[in-house]
């Protein structure tokens, strides 16, 4: 239990106190560092489907093969027309003729597009998807290419990726018949109950793992802990399953595991496992879930010299979420979570929290999106100085560029107000928190479904207590894959 130590005890037991106080201070900072690890959850883009039937009109070619070869401009035009309609039979008929043209008379893009259609017709989906992705990286505004990529992903049972492409198409102005086809594909995806396995690996490089202030900071004679650096890997594994019961009702299961392993500073190693199972409702416009959960966390201790992870805390609560497509370009989402937390050693942190986060996404086109979100977190603990209310806002922008590069930028700001003065310092903490994150990746750079992503992250905290002021830059590489 933490205690406010009276002045008389400081005078009579100076040496004993000076040995214990830095440990208390370091543990206090570490406890706050662990408390603020709130996951950011993006809304899922899901709507509904039945297997669509796409009709193509038969077009007779009145010219012979020899006549077509004598008119390369006409052959290029005919080839492009069949590619836009996606009629594989016509493409396969024209492709051998087109390949007889000289390299100068051929279009590299038309040839690559035709090869993608040919690979799909032969059910060589991996090669077809690779070619479509390369084309889309150079021509992100091309709706027929994106549509054919989405359908090929659907046929290859890569439903999450197909769904994302269909939603990007919905953001563009489409003819009603095409919009209806997309709606049916999305409906079919959402009717498929399947196990989803996702995994990710992140190379971590944290120059200030313990969130310490600048070197040499003192307060009332006490010196703040020094900054510590740590390098390692972050791991995450997610397993999901949905059981549909008709009329939009379903059960859903989630198993989420996360871990950070620092090979040169193992006392900050941490792992967590959350299991949730609950009920939901979904139609073409919205999705609602109510998921009770259990969560266990392991931690090496941070402020101690132990390098082995031990049970740190457990939580039980419920997560609810409502997602709603206002229009094909606008999506809203709101998440609420409540949990009771119990700590193995740091009993002063026992308590509960309420977390609520509304957000709005805007998709002006299939190559761009914007979002704005707010969040409110009320954390109530046994000791009031560890209880706080945090209010924040975040803004973001995602973009697919014509050269194949994709980017995502987000900025955040929050105010955090503690409820009581801290022991030793007798200060009620008030923080202002700032964050910036930029991620870059190239859509044509991927291996076996894995695209590396480079991320830069900057965090800054301005506090009324000097020991809790800090800022840090982090650069790391992420890899993720859905099975």
| Buried-state track 323-355, b at ≥16 Cβ within 10 A, e below 16 | bebeebbebebbbbbebebebeebebbbbebeb
Kindly provide the b/e burial profile for residues 396-431, where b requires at least 16 CB atoms within 10 angstroms of the residue's own CB. Answer: bebebeeebebebebebebebebbeebbbbebebeb
Domain 195-481 has CATH 2.40.160.40: yes
What integer pLDDT is reported at residue 342 of this predicted model? 97
E strands, 207-284, where? 218-219, 222-223, 230-246, 249-262, 270-282
> Which residue, 44, 438, 10, is CA-closest to 221?
10
Angle, alpha carbons 443-444-446 (nearest 5°): 90
Q: How far out from the chain centre does Cα 180 lie?
A: 29
Question: Given this model, what pLDDT does residue 4 score?
Answer: 37
Domain locations in the chain?
A: 65-190, 195-481
Query: CB–CB of 125/156 below 8 Å?
Result: yes
Structure tokens that stand for 61 in this block: 């070619």
List all residues 6 or more positions away from 58 whose beta carbon is below 8 Å from its beta carbon: none
∠ CA 79-82-85, rounded to 5°: 150
Contact, 120 vs 128, CB < 8 A? yes
All residues at 6 or more sequence positions from 250 whose CB lies less than 8 Å from its CB, including other chains? 193, 242, 243, 244, 279, 280, 281, 282
Of 166, 186, 163, the residue nearest 174 (C-alpha)? 166
CA distance 101 to 95: 10
**CA separation for the pair 189, 47 (Å, rounded):** 8
Q: CA nearest 397: which of 356, 363, 447?
A: 363
Tell me the sheet residues that pair with 13. Answer: none
Q: Is 42 helix (H, G, I), strand (E, B) or coil?
A: coil
Q: What is the pLDDT of residue 393?
A: 98
In contact, 291 and 276? CB cutoff 8 Å: yes
The residue whose two tokens read 């120059």 is 207
In the CATH hierarchy, which top-level class contains the domain 65-190?
mainly alpha
pLDDT at 423: 84
**143-155 and 176-191 helices cross at what angle (nearest 10)?**
20
Q: From first to last of its 483 residues, what are the pLDDT tens digits of the chain?
A: 343 333 333 333 333 334 445 556 667 677 776 766 655 444 444 333 333 433 444 444 456 667 777 778 888 888 899 999 888 998 998 899 888 888 888 889 999 999 999 999 988 888 999 999 999 999 999 999 999 999 999 888 787 888 899 999 998 888 899 999 999 999 888 877 888 899 999 999 999 999 999 887 887 778 888 899 999 999 999 999 988 787 778 899 999 999 999 999 999 999 999 999 999 998 768 899 999 999 999 999 887 667 889 999 999 999 999 999 998 899 999 999 999 999 999 999 999 999 999 999 999 998 999 999 999 999 999 999 999 999 999 999 999 998 899 999 999 999 999 999 988 888 999 999 999 999 999 988 888 778 899 999 999 999 999 899 999 999 999 998 876
Could you identify the residue written with the tokens 């489907």?
49
- Identify whether the C-beta of residue 25 lies closer than 8 Å to the C-beta of residue 424: yes
In angstroms, rounded to a whole number, what is the distance separating the alpha carbons of residues 211 and 468? 8
Query: Do residues 205 and 478 touch, judged by C-beta distance below 8 A?
Result: no
Q: Is 258 helix (H, G, I), strand (E, B) or coil?
A: strand
CA 210 and chain centroid, separation: 24
Q: Is 207 in contact with 474 (CB distance < 8 Å)? A: yes
Lookup: tokens for 213: 């202030």
- Beta-carbon contacts of residue 18 (< 8 Å; ≥ 6 apart): none
């Amino acid at each position: 239990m933490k205690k406010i130590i009276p002045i008389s005890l400081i005078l009579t037991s100076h040496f004993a106190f000076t040995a214990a106080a830095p440990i208390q201070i370091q543990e206090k900072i570490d406890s706050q560092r662990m408390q603020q690890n709130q996951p950011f959850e993006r809304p899922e883009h899901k709507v509904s489907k039945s297997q669509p039937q796409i009709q193509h009109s038969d077009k007779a070619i009145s010219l012979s093969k020899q006549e077509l070869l004598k008119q390369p401009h006409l052959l290029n035009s005919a080839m492009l027309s069949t590619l836009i309609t996606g009629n594989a039979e016509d493409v396969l008929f024209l492709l051998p003729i087109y390949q007889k043209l000289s390299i100068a008379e051929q279009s590299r893009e038309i040839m690559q597009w035709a090869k993608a259609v040919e690979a799909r017709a032969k059910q060589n989906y991996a090669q077809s998807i690779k070619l479509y992705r390369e084309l889309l990286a150079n021509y992100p505004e091309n709706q027929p290419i994106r549509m054919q990529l989405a359908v090929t992903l659907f046929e290859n049972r890569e439903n999450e990726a197909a769904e994302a492409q269909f939603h990007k198409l919905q953001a563009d102005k489409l003819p009603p018949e095409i919009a209806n086809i997309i709606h049916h594909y999305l409906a079919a995806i959402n009717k498929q109950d399947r196990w989803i396995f996702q995994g990710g690996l992140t190379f971590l490089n944290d120059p200030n793992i313990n969130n310490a202030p600048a070197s040499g900071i003192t307060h009332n004679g006490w010196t703040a802990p020094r900054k510590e650096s740590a390098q390692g890997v972050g791991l995450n594994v997610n397993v999901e399953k949905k059981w549909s019961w008709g009329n939009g009702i379903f059960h859903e299961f989630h198993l989420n595991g996360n871990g950070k392993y620092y090979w040169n500073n193992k006392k900050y190693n941490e792992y967590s496992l959350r299991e949730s199972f609950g009920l939901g409702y979904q139609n073409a416009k919205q999705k609602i879930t109510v998921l009770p959960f259990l969560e266990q966390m392991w931690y090496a201790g941070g402020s101690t010299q132990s390098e082995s992870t031990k049970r740190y805390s457990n939580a039980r609560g419920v997560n609810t979420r409502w997602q709603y497509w206002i229009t094909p370009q606008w999506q809203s989402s709101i998440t609420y979570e409540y949990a009771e937390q119990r700590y193995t050693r740091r009993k002063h942190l026992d308590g509960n929290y309420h977390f609520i986060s509304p957000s709005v996404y805007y998709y002006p086109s299939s190559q761009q999106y914007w979002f704005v979100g707010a969040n409110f977190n009320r954390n109530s603990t046994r000791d009031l100085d560890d209880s706080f209310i945090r209010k924040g806002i975040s803004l973001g922008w995602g973009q697919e560029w014509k050269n194949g590069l994709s980017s995502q930028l987000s900025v955040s700001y929050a105010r955090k107000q503690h409820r009581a003065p801290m022991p030793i310092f007798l200060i009620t903490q008030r923080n202002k928190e700032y964050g910036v994150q930029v991620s870059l990746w190239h859509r044509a750079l991927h291996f076996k479904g894995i695209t590396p992503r480079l991320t830069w992250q900057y965090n800054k905290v301005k506090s009324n207590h000097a020991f809790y002021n800090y800022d840090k830059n982090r650069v790391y590489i992420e890899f993720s894959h859905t099975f």
